[in-house]
Structure 1
Amino acid sequence: MKIVSTNIGERQEINWKGKLVTTGIFKYSVDKPIFLDKEDVKDDAVCDRKHHGGILQAVYGYSLKHYDYWQKLYPDLEFENGIFGENLTIDDLDETKIHQGDTFKVGETIIEATVQRNPCMKLGIRFNDMKIVKQFWNTTFCGVYFKVIKTGLVKAGDVFEQIKSCPENPTIADLYVAKRVAKSTKS
Structure 2
Amino acid sequence: MKIVATNIGKRREIDWKGKKVTTGIFKFPVEDPIFLDVEDVKEDVICDRNHHGGIDQAVYAFSEKHYDYFKELYPDLDWQLGMFGENLTLSDCEESELHVGDTFKVGETIIEVTKPRQPCMKLGVRFNDMKIVKQFWNTDKSGVYFKVLQTGFVKKGDVFELLKTDKTKPTIAEVYNEKRLRKNP
One fold, TM greater than 0.5?
yes
How much has 1:161 moved relative to structure 2? 1.1
Structure 2 partner of 1:106:
106
How much has 1:166 moved relative to structure 2? 1.6
**Where does structure 2 lack aligned partners over 5 or more consecutive residues?**
none
Aligned length: 185
Q: What is the CA–CA distance in structure 1 between the aligned matches of 2:139 and 2:161, rounded to whole Å?
A: 26
**Where does structure 1 lack aligned partners over 5 or more consecutive residues?**
none
Aligned pairs for 1:90-169 within 5 A: 90-169=90-169
Structure 1 partner of 2:19:
19
Q: Deviations over 1:11-51 (max 9, x none)?
A: 11111000001100000000000000000000000011111
Flag as ranges the 4+ runs of structure 1 deviating above 6 A.
Answer: none
Query: SS where residue 93 of structure 1 aligns?
Result: coil
Q: What is the CA–CA distance in structure 2 between the aligned matches of 1:92 and 1:164, rounded to whole Å?
A: 19
Q: What is the CA–CA distance in structure 2 between the aligned matches of 1:46 and 1:104, rounded to whole Å?
A: 24
TM normalised by structure 1 equals 0.98
Q: What is the CA–CA distance in structure 2 between the aligned matches of 1:71 and 1:129, rounded to whole Å?
A: 14
Q: CA RMSD in A?
A: 0.5
Q: What is the CA–CA distance in structure 2 between the aligned matches of 1:151 and 1:54, rounded to whole Å?
A: 14
Structure 2 partner of 1:78:
78
Percentage of identical aligned residues: 67
Q: What is the CA–CA distance in structure 1 between the aligned matches of 2:112 and 2:95, rounded to whole Å?
A: 13
How much has 1:162 moved relative to structure 2? 1.1
Tell me the amino acid that sits aligned with residue 22 of structure 1. Answer: T
Q: What is the CA–CA distance in structure 2 between the aligned matches of 1:39 and 1:166, rounded to whole Å?
A: 24
How much has 1:116 moved relative to structure 2? 0.5
TM normalised by structure 2 equals 0.99
